[in-house]
Structure 1
Amino acid sequence: MSKPLLDPEQWYATLPTAFVSACLLLTDADDRVLVVKPNYRPYWMIPGGVIEAGELPQECAAREIGEELGLDVRAGELLVVQWSPPVDDRPRAMVNFLFDGGTVADPAGIRLQEEELDDAAFLPWDEAAARLAFHTAPRLLAARQAREAGRIVYLSDVFPATGG
C-alpha cells in the first residue's frame, strides 16, 4: 500500500531551501576587476546582492550595482553559477549567478553607497581573488575563464561544508 500524497503546501515545506544571489563582473579598460569592501564583512566581495521576491537574477545584479555603486549597468551573459553549502554564519546553501557587466567606461562615475560599502577598487585578477572570501574566490577565477572561453562555468563543492 502506498502512502497518500501530501497536499502541495505540506510537500513544499519538506523541500530544501537555499539563498539566491546575483553579481556582476565589472572590469576597467586595463582588465582589472571591480571588487567592493562591505562594512558588514571582513572580506571584499564581487558587487551584487541577494535576490528579492519576484526578481530575476539579472535584474537583481543590475539593481544592486545601481544602488551600491551608482552605475547604470545591464547584466550581460551569464558567466558562472555557483552552488555552495552553508558556511560561517550562513545557515543554508547559496546559489549565485555571476553575469558579465562589461567594462566600466568611466570609473570616476562610481558613487559608493556608504551605508553598506567602505571601499571599491579595480584590482588585478589575482589580487582581487586574494581579497575575497575563500568560498567566493573560485567564482571570480571561473568568471575569467568563462568570459575568455565564451561558455558558462558551473561550480559546486569548491570547499568543505564546514567552512574554513
Structure 2
Amino acid sequence: MNPERAGWLEPAEWYASLPSFLASATAVITDPQSRVLLVKPNYREHWNLPGGVLQGDEPPNLACAREVREELGVEPVLGALLVVDWVAPTDIRRAWFGFVFDAGTVVSPDDIALQNDELDGFEFVEPAEAYSRLTRNTADRLRSALGAKATGRTVNLVNGTVVSASA
C-alpha cells in the first residue's frame, strides 16, 4: 500500500463496505384504446405491471425486456425510461429501486403467450381500474409513468411521491 494512502481501504474492501439495494424493472404496455396491460401473479394477491427483479449483473432495460419475454412471450421494443422510484428499506428488505419503461402498444391480446408458472392471467384495463388493482406504490409508479409518456420527461419518485429537481 502506498504510505500516502495509509488508512484508505483497498478498492475491493471499499466496494464491499457500501450499501446494497434491490431493483426491479417493469413495463407499461398499452392496447390501441390506451388501456394498460396488467398481469396477475399466482404468488401475490394483487395485480402488477409486467416485469421483475434485476439479476446482479443486469441493467434495468435488459431486465425489463427479459421479464416481458418470459412472462408474456413477446419481444418488447422498449422506449423511454418513464420512472425511477426509490423505496425506503423496511424491517424485512433493503431499499428498492423501481424502474418503469415504455414498452409500446400490443395490437392484439392474441400475441401474448402467458407464462403459467408465475402468472394466472393478464388483462388490459383502463388506468383508473389499474390503480385500484395495484399496490399503492405500483399505482403511484403507473400514474407517474403515464404522465411521463404524455410529457416525454422521466419522473423521479421517492416512495411513490414525485420529487422535484431542486429537492
Q: TM-score, normalised by structure 1?
A: 0.89
2:33 alignment counterpart: 30
Contact 1:59–1:75 (Cα < 8 Å) also in 2:
no
Question: What is the aligned counterpart of 1:44 among 41, 47, 50?
Answer: 47
1:162 alignment counterpart: none
Q: Which runs of 5+ in 1 are unaligned?
A: 160-164
Distance in 1, matches of 2:91 and 2:23, equals: 17
Question: What is the aligned counterpart of 1:123 among 125, 132, 138?
Answer: 125
* 1:17 alignment partner AA: S
Matched, 1:19 2:26: no
Identity %, equivalent residues: 46
Runs of 4+ in 1 over 3 A off after TM superposition: none
Q: Which runs of 5+ in 2 are unaligned?
A: 162-167
Contact 1:23–1:98 (Cα < 8 Å) also in 2:
yes
* 2:19 alignment partner AA: P
1:16-62 deviation digits (Å, cap 9, x = unpaired): 11111111110001100001110111111111011123222111111
Paired residue total: 157
Distance in 2, matches of 1:146 and 1:99, equals: 10
Shift of 1:157: 3.1
Contact 1:70–1:112 (Cα < 8 Å) also in 2:
yes
Distance 1:98 1:158, change over 3 A: closer
Matched, 1:141 2:143: yes
1:53 alignment counterpart: 56
The alignment partner of 1:86 has SS state of coil
Distance in 1, matches of 2:75 and 2:65, equals: 7
Distance in 1, matches of 2:91 and 2:123, equals: 25
1:64-107 deviation digits (Å, cap 9, x = unpaired): 11110111112111111111113585x11111111100110121
Q: TM-score, normalised by structure 2?
A: 0.87
Question: What is the aligned counterpart of 2:100 among 93, 98, 101?
Answer: 98
